[in-house]
Amino acid sequence: MPYKLLFVCLGNICRSPSAENIMNHLIAQQGLGDRILCDSAGTSSYHVGSPPDRRMTAAASMRGIALKGQARQFSKADFAAFDLILAMDRENYSNILALAPSDRDRHKVRLMCDFCTRFTLQEVPDPYYGGPEGFNIVIDLLLDACEGLLAFVLQEQEASL
């Protein structure tokens, strides 16, 4: 059974779809598409149905990563559907935990930056209201976090064999 990851930010047009698509890129590079599945969502409904932000898409494409998907809102059903839920910042982390039906569900929620190995930031900053440099920083930060996350998931999968 594949390991399922859900990346969550506020609007699901910048940070979480970037994390989802970066992770899918790393998974494809290693031929692990049958072992790990990714999705993303937002804690708000502001952008439901929208594609990823064009500025985020431009920053990702400079690194050879295509951003695909449509924004959707996080729901309680996501706790049952995913093995690990990754919040981009503490506010989204708190909002996700507030919806958790049980302790088991709460234990599925982690901060994305917990998996960074090079960056020391504790949260993925929201680049929405800033300039292009913010989008580039987010992509680099998420590449770091996704590499660490992939190593973690592979360890989890081996431990459960």
Residue 88: name the closest of 23, 14, 4 by CA: 14
Residue 27: its pLDDT value, please?
98
Write out residues in the chain with pLDDT < 50, as ranges: none
Residue 61: its pLDDT value, please?
97
Residue 156: its pLDDT value, please?
92
Q: Compute the C-alpha angle 156/34/11, nearest 5°.
A: 80
Residue 90: its pLDDT value, please?
98
Residue 161: its pLDDT value, please?
80
Q: What is the pTM of this model?
A: 0.97
Cα-based torsion angle of the residue sequence 93, 99, 104, 109 in order, rounded to the nearest 10 degrees: -20
Residue 143: its pLDDT value, please?
98
The string of pLDDT tens digits covering residues 108-131 is 999 999 999 999 999 999 999 999
Residue 134: its pLDDT value, please?
96
The DSSP element (H or E) to which 21 belongs, if any, is: helix 15-29
Contact assessment for residue 39 and residue 4, using Cβ atoms and an 8 Å cutoff: yes
Q: Compute the C-alpha angle 76/82/85, nearest 5°.
A: 80
Residue 160: its pLDDT value, please?
85
Catalytically annotated residues: 9, 15, 126
